[in-house]
Amino acid sequence: MARIYIDPERCIGCRSCEVACEREHGHPRISVGTVGDLAAVPVYCHQCDAAPCVAVCHPGSLRLDGEMVAFDQDLCTLCGLCVVVCPFGAIELGSEIKRCDLCSGTPVCVMTCPTEALVDGDVDAIARSSRARAADVLAARLVRI
């Protein structure tokens, strides 16, 4: 299953992903959090395999639909348990729950990110790419020695 992955070293905190998501969905389903002056990190639903939000949702408004966490607004009681248990802080509770559904196809946040800090794809392909980048960095350091 394709998912969105973050390269925190590339995120510059421009919030382009938030703007694109808001334009696409009417409200942003991704938000960029900052850790002081150290880092900016996009926060979004990770579509967990063993989703704690699904486990605590007593009315069943959050449920697994294949490999995706689906949401049914009509069943939601706005109890907020999903917000509390989300390990990523990715669910917002207002007049309705706002959470990422990975769009259909390539997510707009990924297409919009100017630094390619957000990448979507299969975990194995992303891991191979990350290892190749890390190997390039190490090789460049060895050449300078």
> What are the residues whose beta carbons fall under 8 Å from the beta carbon of 106, sequence distance 6 or more?
120
* 18, pLDDT greater than 90: yes
Residue 85 is predicted with a pLDDT of 95
CATH architecture assigned to 3-144: 2-Layer Sandwich (3.30)
To the nearest whole number, what is the mean pLDDT of the chain?
87
User: pLDDT class for 95, splitting at 50, 70, 90?
Assistant: low
Domain ranges in the chain are 3-144
* Average pLDDT of span 6-27: 91
The model's pLDDT over 23-63, given as tens digits with 9 standing for 90+, comes to: 998 888 898 988 888 788 888 888 888 899 999 999 999 99
Cα–Cα distances (Å) from 27 to 2, 50, 70, 78, 98, in that order, read 23, 26, 18, 18, 8
Residue 1 is predicted with a pLDDT of 60
Closest CA to 5 of 40, 41, 50: 41
Is the model more confident about 108 or about 129? 108
Interior/surface letters 82-104, b for 16+ CB within 10 angstroms, e for the rest: bbeebeeebbbbeeebbbbebbe
